[in-house]
Structure 1
Amino acid sequence: MLKEFKNFIMTGNVIDLAVAVILAGAVGLVVTGFTNDMIMPIVGHFTGGMDFSDLKFVLDPAVVGPEGKITKPENAIMWGKWINSLINLVIVGFVLFIIVKSYSKVKAKKIEEAPAPAPGPSEVDLLMEIRDELRKK
């Protein structure tokens, strides 16, 4: 059973999947950073300095005790963070679209560049040779 598991893990598909998952996580972090640090400040500039990640709908406000310490935290729907997540999704989708499109072009070129098989005798030529050999006998 251990051998079967080892063979399964060492197949190319499983390793390719593992690499893809790790790269997807890294791309996700890069895209999140790009969205939060590059795109959203630009959007905020054109919306009067608004930061989408701070936008929320407060269901229950925070309760502050007499000492100024929060006794009950705020309960809110953070819809601004959801907007940021949607922007991340669109950017990740676009990046993956570009990667798949580029891969498809490279793969198509490799198929086109495959050398044609060397021309050899046709079937008719081979049949004629066989006929001639049979006539000799």
Structure 2
Amino acid sequence: MGMISEFKEFIARGNVVDLAVGVVIGAAFGKIVTALVDGIVMPIVGATTGGVSVSDWKYVVNPAQLDAAGKEVAAEVAVKYGMFLQTAIDFVLIALVIFLFLKAYNRMRKPAEAAPAGPSEEVLLLRDIRDALKK
């Protein structure tokens, strides 16, 4: 029973629960940003590049080969860098928003800096003694 009670104590800690909540919220937030990129950002980028979807961008190494009837004999060999570019933009936007959120959170969470404390009583007493000796 020792291991079960240790596991219950581990799960009951606030950090584990906070981490689980953070992972779930992070996954949902990732979906929101992906929808933003797929639905708004990339169509604007595609419109500026002639209407081609960014995810369709590719470099064709060997084009598809067709037979006389028009059926594909050999598939096209292409480097599809558009999907990578779209995923990289997703990542950068998610990282930027998380950075801005954490920066605002840390600013709100940071306690107000207290005014510097005056010198201690010992220091004041030593100053008085020093001043008295100077006279």
> TM-score when scaled to structure 2?
0.69
The percentage of aligned residue pairs carrying the same residue is 40
Gaps of 5+ in 1: 115-122, 125-137
1:112 aligns with 2:82: no
Tell me the SS of whatever aligns to 1:112: coil
What do you get for the CA RMSD once the two structures are aligned? 2.9
Offset at 1:92?
A: 0.5
Q: Which residue of the partner structure matches residue 10 of structure 1? A: 12
1:79 alignment counterpart:
81
Using the TM superposition, give the Cα deviation of residue 87 of structure 1 relative to its aligned residue in structure 2, in angstroms. 0.7
TM-score, length of structure 1 as denominator length: 0.68
Matched, 1:20 2:22: yes
CA distance in 2, matches of 1:66, 1:4: 71
1:83-129 Cα deviation digits (max 9, x unpaired): 00111111101101111111011112xx2299xxxxxxxx89xxxxx
Q: Cα distance 1:23–1:69, how it changes in 2: closer, same or farther (>3 A)?
A: farther
Match of 2:40 in 1: 38
Aligned equivalent of 2:50: 48
The alignment partner of 1:33 has SS state of: helix
- Give structure 2 stretches of 5+ with no counterpart: 115-120, 123-135
Amino acid at match of 2:7: F
- Separation in structure 1 between the aligned mates of residue 71 and residue 12 of structure 2, nearest angstrom: 56
1:7-39 Cα shifts (integer Å, max 9, x gaps): 111111111111111111111111111001000
Q: Report how many aligned residue pairs link the two structures.
A: 114
